[in-house]
């Protein structure tokens, strides 16, 4: 899980071109959208594509998406849970 979290932080920075942000500085439990990392809806769209491309995972609906993109940890937990299915 910890390795996945670290990878996700790097992928978020690379995918969203957040060159000004050190992946290690992203707090695992901080909100990704709005407060915390401060991502917006367009960034979320890019992360959705990242999930599909890199992990073969789709978000079924908005409500699931809200909980999945709550933090890096929730994102990692969702990916792990989907792989088990």
Partner 1 sequence: MKRHTFGICGYALAASTQIDTHASSILFPLSNDIHSLQRSQILPDPYPAFGRLTTSEKYIVALASCALKTTIDRAATGICIGNVYGSISSDRDYWKTVTSGFPSPALFPSTLPSSPAAETAIALKCKGPLRVFCGPSAGFHAFLSSLALLSQVNETILLIEYSKDPDSAEFGWGSALCLSNKANFAGDFLQIDSETEVDSLAPGASDDKLYLYTLVHALKNHTLFQKRSRVGLKTITVSLQYKEFEHGTAH
Q: Which residues bind partner 1 (CB under 8 A)?
A: 16-21, 37-39, 42-43, 45-46, 49, 53
In the complex, minimum distance from the CB of residue 73 to partner 1, in angstroms, rounded to a whole number: 19
Which lies closer to partner 1 via its Cβ, residue 19 or residue 85? Answer: 19
Alpha carbon 30 to chain centroid, angstroms:
11
- Alpha carbon distances (Å) from 48 to 18, 62, 66: 16, 11, 12
Token pair for 35? 């407060």
Q: How far is the CB of 11 from partner 1 (least distance, A)?
A: 14
Is the distance from CB of 2 to CB of 77 less than 8 angstroms? no
Taking the complex as a whole, the smallest distance from the CB of residue 69 to partner 1 amounts, in Å, to: 14
């Amino acid at each position: 899980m910890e390795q996945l979290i670290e990878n996700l932080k790097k992928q978020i920075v690379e995918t969203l071109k957040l060159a000004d942000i050190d992946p290690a500085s992203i707090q695992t439990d901080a909100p990704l959208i709005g407060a915390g990392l401060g991502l917006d809806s367009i960034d979320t769209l890019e992360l959705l594509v990242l999930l599909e491309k890199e992990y073969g995972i789709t978000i079924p609906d908005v409500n699931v998406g809200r909980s999945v993109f709550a933090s890096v940890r929730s994102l990692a937990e969702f990916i792990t849970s989907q792989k088990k299915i």
